[in-house]
Chains A and B, each alone.
Chain A
């Protein structure tokens, strides 16, 4: 309850500051960032907007190798051990809890992108899950109210505002991103820490970030290894995979179905 009040306070603060920007976006009539229709053969050619420049490939490859070692030798063993201690249900709840904490930031990003209805869904989800899902431990909104999670991040907001990706970036300890999106991650993370109940203690913030990372990894054990073992050049495979997954995540709603239009 306290958390809810805190975050609504925070939202109203942000909204006051961001109102000008919001109006600007609405006036500009924000267009969807990427629309890739997989049924279109063009989606098999290079998709413009998805091909982000990779001018620092050698450096990125070095970081990719570093992350690979870090994952295989540190993160994966720790997460495997952790997964043996805690059953999957509980790890799922932990995941939900962290996801729910970030909902206010998602709601604001939706607004800033001009996605008013999505913002309403995110806020409704946040309220339902915080109350009926016991502080977000369960995703009651998705299971009982059919309100599926909605994706929104500041990187996407910047994209809607016309900021380009810049370049592809493999960030140590973090993974694939782009200059713009990684900046967005920074902004989102900072925004979240302003209303976290434990925001005053840096040690707690860092420990919880690590805990969250280990928990998330424990729910996806083996996936990295599987994909790596099936690919010829993992660097390329993960780069391509990153952009494909990102464009799916940012494709809110379905591409138009010709059959439904009656063509």
Chain B
């Protein structure tokens, strides 16, 4: 008896909370809409992943092609900066450039893997939120049986929303690498980190050409 009363109260409370959560209010300031800018780009990426012509190219060409598409809305400088922070500031401009190239090469393989795995999943835009010049565009990658939450963190640069991190199910690409890189830098120094990324890139390259 008591239980059913509690249950009724719970339901009432739930619905009350639902009602409070209804979307309200317009955006307070006028910067371009992140989702509006990012949506066509993501659709292009997915279109490329699904393109049968791409699968005929060699892995190396696939990687080069995808990175070209992705560069349109991914700021690899910002990504490199964040992944190496605070070490980044100590590097010379040339070292920064070298690191950025190397890190971009590493990230290529994230996308090559995605070409292989892609099997018709759709991107759904669930929500966005803004905080000053930053925005998070939340998406779900869905197929018949499951959905994966993928968030893109964007920064407003000259009127363009550029991505600086991808968060898959709460796991941030940049934060993950940052933690690994910091550990390598503290233990073995920066030059060792560069060496390790280089050998990882070679290893992945080899792995994909053998397939």
| Residues on A facing B (Cβ under 8 Å) | 8, 11-12, 15, 37-40, 43-44, 88-89, 91-92, 116-117, 119-121, 123-124, 219, 222, 226, 229-233, 236-237, 240-241, 244-249, 254-255, 257-263
Chain B 154-178 interface 0/1 with A at a Cβ cutoff of 8 Å (1 = within): 0000000000010101111011101
Other-chain contact of B180, A123, A237, A257 (Cβ < 8 Å): A237
- In the complex, which residues of chain A have a beta carbon less than 8 angstroms from the beta carbon of B113? 226, 230
Other-chain contact of B204, A229, A241, A254, A259 (Cβ < 8 Å): A229
Q: Give chain A's interface secondary structure class.
A: helix
For the complex, is B153 an interface residue (Cβ under 8 Å from A)? yes
Other-chain contact of A236, B27, B174, B179 (Cβ < 8 Å): B179
Asked if residues B144 and A39 are in contact (CB atoms below 8 Å), the reply is no
Task: Supply 13 A–B pairs (Cβ within 8 Å), ascending by A.
Answer: A38-B172, A39-B131, A44-B175, A89-B145, A116-B13, A121-B14, A123-B10, A219-B146, A226-B113, A231-B176, A244-B171, A245-B171, A249-B170
Asked if residues B146 and A92 are in contact (CB atoms below 8 Å), the reply is yes
- In the complex, which residues of chain B have a beta carbon less than 8 angstroms from the beta carbon of A11? 3
- In the complex, which residues of chain B have a beta carbon less than 8 angstroms from the beta carbon of A232? 180-181, 184, 196-197, 200
Asked if residues A39 and B171 are in contact (CB atoms below 8 Å), the reply is no
- In the complex, which residues of chain A have a beta carbon less than 8 angstroms from the beta carbon of B6? 15
- In the complex, which residues of chain A have a beta carbon less than 8 angstroms from the beta carbon of B7? 120, 123
Known contacts A12-B3, A92-B145, A244-B171, A236 near B127 by CB under 8 Å = no
Report the separation of the CA atoms of residues A262 and B25 in the bound assembly, to the nearest whole angstrom.
Answer: 9
- In the complex, which residues of chain B have a beta carbon less than 8 angstroms from the beta carbon of A219? 145-146
Chain B 131-161 interface 0/1 with A at a Cβ cutoff of 8 Å (1 = within): 1101110000000111000010100000000
Known contacts A237-B176, A249-B170, A120 near B145 by CB under 8 Å = no
Residue of B nearest to A50 (CB): B175
For the complex, is B39 an interface residue (Cβ under 8 Å from A)? no
Known contacts A11-B3, A226-B113, A254-B129, A245 near B14 by CB under 8 Å = no
Chain B 171-199 interface 0/1 with A at a Cβ cutoff of 8 Å (1 = within): 11011101111011000000000001100
| Residues on B facing A (Cβ under 8 Å) | 2-3, 6-7, 10-11, 13-14, 17, 24-25, 27-29, 82, 85, 106, 109-110, 113, 117, 127, 129-132, 134-136, 144-146, 151, 153, 165, 167, 169-172, 174-176, 178-181, 183-184, 196-197, 200, 204, 207
Asked if residues B17 and A231 are in contact (CB atoms below 8 Å), the reply is no
- In the complex, which residues of chain A have a beta carbon less than 8 angstroms from the beta carbon of B3? 8, 11-12, 15
Shortest CB-to-CB span from A252 to chain B, Å, is 12
Given A245-B171, A262-B25, 12 additional A-B pairs, CB 8 A? A15-B6, A38-B136, A88-B145, A222-B117, A230-B109, A232-B181, A240-B179, A244-B171, A245-B169, A257-B131, A259-B27, A259-B29
Report the separation of the CA atoms of residues A247 and B17 in the bound assembly, to the nearest whole angstrom.
Answer: 23
Minimum-distance CB pairs A-B, first 10: A248-B170, A120-B10, A120-B14, A257-B129, A92-B145, A259-B130, A117-B17, A39-B134, A240-B179, A262-B28
Asked if residues A124 and B14 are in contact (CB atoms below 8 Å), the reply is yes
Asked if residues B127 and A254 are in contact (CB atoms below 8 Å), the reply is yes
Asked if residues B11 and A259 are in contact (CB atoms below 8 Å), the reply is no
- In the complex, which residues of chain B have a beta carbon less than 8 angstroms from the beta carbon of A245? 169-171
- In the complex, which residues of chain B have a beta carbon less than 8 angstroms from the beta carbon of A89? 144-145
- In the complex, which residues of chain B have a beta carbon less than 8 angstroms from the beta carbon of A12? 2-3
Asked if residues B145 and A44 are in contact (CB atoms below 8 Å), the reply is no
Known contacts A44-B85, A237-B176, A237-B180, A38 near B167 by CB under 8 Å = yes
Residue of B nearest to A89 (CB): B145
Report the separation of the CA atoms of residues A7 and B109 in the bound assembly, to the nearest whole angstrom.
Answer: 48
* Residue in B110, B129, B165 whose Cβ sees the most chain A Cβ within 10 Å: B129
Shortest CB-to-CB span from A143 to chain B, Å, is 11
Report the separation of the CA atoms of residues A257 and B34 in the bound assembly, to the nearest whole angstrom.
Answer: 14
Report the separation of the CA atoms of residues A44 and B85 in the bound assembly, to the nearest whole angstrom.
Answer: 9
Other-chain contact of B82, A39, A40, A44, A260 (Cβ < 8 Å): A44
Asked if residues A248 and B169 are in contact (CB atoms below 8 Å), the reply is yes
Known contacts A39-B129, A39-B136, A44 near B13 by CB under 8 Å = no
Report the separation of the CA atoms of residues A123 and B9 in the bound assembly, to the nearest whole angstrom.
Answer: 13
Report the separation of the CA atoms of residues A91 and B146 in the bound assembly, to the nearest whole angstrom.
Answer: 11
Residue of A nearest to B129 (CB): A257
Report the separation of the CA atoms of residues A244 and B82 in the bound assembly, to the nearest whole angstrom.
Answer: 17
Asked if residues B110 and A230 are in contact (CB atoms below 8 Å), the reply is yes
Report the separation of the CA atoms of residues A48 and B92 in the bound assembly, to the nearest whole angstrom.
Answer: 31
